[in-house]
């Protein structure tokens, strides 16, 4: 699987620039990669609940008093990029800054979230392509002075994101709808018509 330098070189190849040996080799390309890599990675991880980056962690309540109308305060983990819906987290919550507030007073809460996954060995191959393309977009104008190349890369990026989301979604388990849902009533209507 791709390393940090591999992702940067994939991005540079997409632009048509020379590749790098390391992020500290002193070239303009390496300096740009070192500057942009973490920012672009965080943005791409936040956009979608990528399976490889989902994790759960039990949080103990903070000693800080909750804000008005909330019962408990929790500090978000330092690697939390995006909070996901979780069966362990009450639906009545809000996030302000790096704090999560719940309506209920609890001894702990299990938080499901997208973490700042830096182990590129875990990345989905399609995510790697999308991420490298986004990195290329961010570096393109400075390295090529070509807005048309940047526009072409953006179209490629959108294609990769569509593919990555579709593939990632296939891996998610099927969730049954509640019995009283519209779908359930339609199924019942079809069964009655077929009898």
158 vs 65, which has greater pLDDT?
Answer: 158
Cβ atoms within 10 Å, residue 142: 13
Whether 117 and 52 have beta carbons less than 8 Å apart is answered as: yes
Give the closest residue to 9 by CA, choosing from 107, 116, 89, 128: 128
Q: Given this model, what pLDDT does residue 192 score?
A: 42
Specify the pTM.
0.78
Domain boundaries, the chain: 25-119, 136-171
Give the closest residue to 105 by CA, choosing from 61, 56, 59, 57: 61
Q: Given this model, what pLDDT does residue 11 score?
A: 96
Cβ atoms within 10 Å, residue 98: 11
The pLDDT tens digits for 52-92 are 999 999 999 888 888 888 888 899 999 999 998 766 666 78
Examine the pLDDT at 136 and tell me if it is beyond 80. Answer: yes
DSSP state of 18: P
Q: Given this model, what pLDDT does residue 92 score?
A: 80
The pLDDT tens digits for 6-51 are 999 999 999 999 999 999 999 999 999 999 999 999 999 998 888 8
Q: Given this model, what pLDDT does residue 163 score?
A: 87
Q: Given this model, what pLDDT does residue 33 score?
A: 96
Distance CA 164, CA 175 (A): 20
Cβ atoms within 10 Å, residue 151: 11
15 vs 165, which has greater pLDDT?
Answer: 15
The pLDDT tens digits for 111-134 are 899 999 999 889 988 899 999 999
DSSP per residue, 25-44: S-SHHHHHHHHHHHHHHHHH
In this structure, what token pair is assigned to residue 150? 């940047």
Distance CA 100, CA 76 (A): 6
Q: Given this model, what pLDDT does residue 187 score?
A: 42
Q: Given this model, what pLDDT does residue 137 score?
A: 96
Whether 54 and 112 have beta carbons less than 8 Å apart is answered as: yes
Cα–Cα–Cα angle for 53, 56, 62, nearest 5°?
125
Q: Given this model, what pLDDT does residue 191 score?
A: 43
Give the closest residue to 51 by CA, choosing from 130, 127, 133: 127
């Amino acid at each position: 699987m791709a390393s940090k330098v591999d992702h940067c070189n994939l991005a540079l190849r997409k632009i048509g620039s020379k590749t790098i040996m390391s992020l500290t080799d002193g070239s303009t390309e390496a300096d740009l990669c070192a500057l942009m890599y973490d920012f672009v990675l965080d943005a791409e991880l936040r956009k979608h609940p990528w399976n490889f980056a989902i994790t759960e962690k039990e949080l103990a309540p903070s000693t800080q008093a909750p804000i008005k109308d909330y019962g408990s305060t929790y500090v978000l983990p330092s690697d939390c990029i995006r909070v996901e819906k979780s069966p362990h987290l009450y639906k009545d919550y809000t996030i302000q800054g790096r704090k999560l507030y719940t309506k209920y007073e609890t001894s702990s809460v299990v938080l499901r979230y997208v973490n700042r996954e830096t182990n590129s060995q875990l990345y989905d191959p399609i995510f790697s392509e999308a991420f490298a393309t986004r990195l290329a977009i961010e570096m393109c104008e400075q390295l090529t002075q070509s807005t048309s190349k940047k526009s072409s890369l953006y179209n490629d990026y959108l294609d990769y994101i569509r593919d990555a989301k579709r593939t990632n979604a296939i891996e998610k388990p099927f969730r049954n709808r509640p019995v009283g849902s519209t779908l359930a009533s339609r199924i019942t209507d079809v069964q009655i018509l077929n009898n």
